[in-house]
Amino acid sequence: MRLRCAVLDDFQGVAARFADWSVIEDEVEVVALREHLAGEDALAAALAGFDIVVTLRERVPFPASLLARLPRLRLLIASGMRNSVIDYAAAEEHGVTVCGTASSSTPPVELTWALLLGLARGIVEESTALRGNGPWQQTVGADLHGSRLGLLGLGKIGSRVARVGLAFGMHVSAWSQNLTKERADEVGVDLAPSKEALLESSDFVSVHLALGDRTRGLLGPAELALLKPTAYLINTSRAAIVDQDALLSALHEGLIAGAAVDVFDTEPLPADHPLRTAPRLLATPHLGYVSRANYTTYYGQAVENIRAYLSGSPIRQLP
């Protein structure tokens, strides 16, 4: 009898296309689920008959309570080599092997710039107006050359975003709790003396930090109030780094020129979520990691992980 593998959140219906699943078809039946399963009860019911689960990013939590309700589960594969929503101790207790895959930082860098440029030049508003036979030119674009880009975080993604900003002729500064002048100099950017100084001086602020106890709610009402009324905020990192209520207030009150977000406190975003109708907001449905190259890696290495597990020698084990 073949094992059964569930591929979660295959929204575009492309999981089968980005990997050669036929190499395991004799031993594994693969079922792609295109609809998101929200809540532990729905997950427990839907996944009860599966031995293997492939999950994308950190959208679906696997706490101890859920793992206890999936006695058949033996292999859990997550895209990326870091996942904060899997209880690894519980997985080990229940005999579940957890594996990851490689993940490229290039797609989120590119999406960050797509969002920043979309905000700066009013791309959505102008395209919508043109296609709807609306006003010819209704916005005045913000200039990148000579403006200041402030980066919260200068790691793998932040540093690549910085280099693009420099290529545009922007003044780039960065800040994080552990950032040193040596690291800033290495990338060729200014080290902001404080978070507050970076927020006050920047025309564009982009968030590139990992979510943790020190970064959760890092940008709240007081911090957003420091931004210029002509400034833009871009968050392609984690929603919880920015206080969502404070962001909504800033957008509705016009305290900032606009914001672009690719990450949300609940994903997929509920139909009645206030961010769906917020003014001055450019929003995308967590596309940061969604690219052909990344999907080829995710699903291709998921197949490799399954083959390795079946052979008795699991690879890319987490944590």
Choose the catalytic residue: 74, 267, 307, 316: 267
DSSP class per residue in 44-103: HHHHTT-SEEEE-TTSS-B-HHHHHT-TT--EEEESSS--TTB-HHHHHHTT-EEE----
Look-up: residue for tokens 């940008």? 219
* The two three-digit tokens of residue 205, written as one number: 């602020």
Specify whether 267 is catalytic.
yes
SS3 111: helix
Q: How far is CA 42 from the centre of its chain?
A: 24
Q: Are 211 and 202 in contact (CB under 8 A)?
A: no
Specify whether 238 is catalytic.
yes
Q: How many residues does the chain have?
A: 319
Specify whether 208 is catalytic.
no
Choose the catalytic residue: 148, 223, 238, 304: 238
Phi-psi region of 108 (alpha: psi -120 to 50; beta: other; left: phi over 0): alpha
* The two three-digit tokens of residue 243, written as one number: 């206080």
Choose the catalytic residue: 57, 148, 160, 286: 286
Q: Are 92 and 67 in contact (CB under 8 A)?
A: no
SS3 121: coil
Distances (CA, A) of 276 to 93, 112, 131, 158, 271: 41, 19, 21, 27, 8
Closest Cα to residue 113, out of 148, 144, 154, 153?
144
Question: Which positions are annotated as active-site residues?
Answer: 238, 267, 286
